[in-house]
Amino acid sequence: MRGALLVLALAHVGGIAEASDAPAYVGPAACSSNNCHGSVTPRLDSERSLQNEYVTWYKSDRHAKAYDSLLTERGLRIARLLGMVQGPATAASWLESARQPERCLDCHALKLPGEPKLKPGDGVGCEACHGPAGPWLTGHTERGWEPARSIALGMRETMDPGKAAEICLRCHFGTATRTVDHEMLAAGHPSLVFELDTFSANMPVHWRENSSNRRWFRGGAWAAGQAVALRESAQRLAREVRERAWPDFSVYECSSCHHDLRQPSWRQERGYPGRRPGTPPLDTSRQALFALLARAVAPVESGRVAENVLERVRATSLDEETVHSLLHAIVDQAEPLAFAGFRTAQQTAWALDALAVARQGLLSGREDDQDPLCLRIEALFGLLRDAAAYDPARFAAAVRALRPALPSGGAAR
């Protein structure tokens, strides 16, 4: 089912481009050996690695095509509207003479000064997420070499989903210097929607469960991703208010303004209780589900709530009772979640799917998205294929209709 969710992931995939004091990057080709990560088929004799990661990335992962997605008519059109291209240019060559090409390349490629082995055409390669491999590339192939030694030499600890989420969100949400603002959205760039568990499943996955990365499984990636997304969105809002005195329009719920005013609309009639029409609400998609998660795993915590929840899910996996409680809590909140807007509805569907898959893993030891509950959740995604046609009442009804299929004894705490 999760392959079908790609239709909802409208944002271009991105990577990380950070400066390095010394040449330490080796490029994805250095990982492509058949005896390294370039095996055509998974290797069963390795505890941690499938050893076909390079082939999976090159053939199936959108990150590998992130640069190529710029060299299209759509990419050229966006660049022209942003004033990056003036005069004659073609889709294949516009980046060669573009003004401020880093607006695109900071996330669509990993190309740094002084790093000759990195090529923009490689898109978002291995080291964009795992860090510069020069210091540990040779050593990590030695027998008995533990990941902790590589991490000490600069490898990023992606085995922790919370730390992985921080890496992903540098492009899939943005930073102070890397962002998709309202100007870029108006030019045609997709919105930066993201949910760690779903997007990781659709990469596709290039890892297997082991003793070091078990926090990724059975809902762990979803929970960690929710906590980090809330923290990053709160920091961005504070930063924009401090620097601009007013948040960029990209932090608001798009459909509150972008709808046909000539026809009656749910957005005007009841979408935002307590607000006058024309008062745009903030986009709640990065916090609506987190509130239910915090109530389930850290009900007495206060203060740094996102950090408290992240620490809790790092220390222990979600158990069956908590997963059941979260499923019931989301269904019980079907209407407010649905009427919060299209992006929150997306997050709701992704959360239900991630938790239903987690439940299967807890019950049988194997995550299976063909479980009857997962199959019923799949119908939700058919209601989310077109933001302009989104009907919150219909979506809320579809979420409520899941209640008979939910596990018993999981009422929200």
**pLDDT one-digit tens code per residue, 51-106:** 999 999 999 999 999 999 999 999 999 999 999 999 999 999 999 999 999 999 99
Domain count across the chain: 1
pLDDT tens, 7-27? 333 333 334 444 445 559 999
Task: Give the DSSP letter string of 318-350.
Answer: --HHHHHHHHHHHHHTHHHHHHT-HHHHHHHHH
Which is nearest to 161 in space by CA: 231, 216, 85, 209? 216
pLDDT above 90 as % of the chain? 65
Quick one: pLDDT at residue 35?
Answer: 87
- Residues 133-191: pLDDT tens digits? 999 999 999 988 999 999 999 999 999 999 999 999 999 999 999 999 999 999 999 99
Cα–Cα distance measured from residue 165 to residue 266, given in angstroms and rounded to the nearest whole number: 34
Residue 170 lies in a domain: no
Q: What is the greatest pairwise CA distance in the chain?
A: 69
Query: CB–CB of 107/171 below 8 Å?
Result: yes
288-297 and 220-244 are packed helices; what angle lies between their axes, rounded to 10 degrees? 130
The answer to whether 333 and 375 are in contact (CB under 8 A) is no
- 338 CB-side CA count, 13 A: 22
282 φ, ψ to 5°?
-70, 155
Residue 241 in contact with residue 247, Cβ under 8 Å?
Answer: yes
CA pair distance 271, 393, nearest whole angstrom: 10
pLDDT at 146: 92
74 within domain boundaries: no
Helix locations, 245-340, DSSP H: 266-269, 288-297, 305-315, 320-332, 334-339
Structural domain contains residue 5: no
Residue 314 has pLDDT above 60, yes or no: yes
Q: How far apart are CA 413 and CA 410, in angstroms?
A: 8
Q: Are 195 and 350 in contact (CB under 8 A)?
A: yes
Bridge partners (DSSP) of residue 282 are 252
pTM of the model: 0.87
Tell me the average pLDDT of the chain.
87
Distance from C-alpha of 65 to C-alpha of 117, rounded to nearest angstrom: 18
Domain of 341 in residue numbering reads as 220-405
Rounded CA-CA distance 121/355 in Å is 37
Residue 138 vs residues 30, 134, 141, 313: alpha-carbon distances, Å:
10, 8, 6, 33
Main-chain dihedrals φ then ψ at residue 252, nearest 5 degrees:
-95, 165
Q: Is 141 part of any domain?
A: no
Asked whether the beta carbons of 214 and 314 are under 8 A apart, the reply is no
CB atoms under 10 Å from CB of 68, counted, come to 15
Asked if residue 266 belongs to a domain, the reply is yes
Nearest Cα residue to 158 out of 206, 194, 192, 124: 206
Tell me whether the omega of the peptide bond preceding residue 204 falls within 30 degrees of 0, making it cis: yes
**Which pLDDT score is estimated for 19?**
41
Q: Is 314 exposed, middle or buried (0-12, 13-18, 19+ CB in 10 A)?
A: middle
- Counting other chains too, the contacts that 136-144 makes at CB distance below 8 Å and 24 or more residues apart are 137/26, 137/30, 141/36
Residues 6+ apart with CB under 8 A from 350: 5, 8, 195, 197, 198, 222
Q: Is residue 225 included in any domain, yes or no?
A: yes
Residue 237 domain-assigned (yes or no): yes
159 in a domain, yes or no?
A: no
Q: What is the structure's pLDDT at 269?
A: 60
Q: Which amino acid is at 180?
A: V
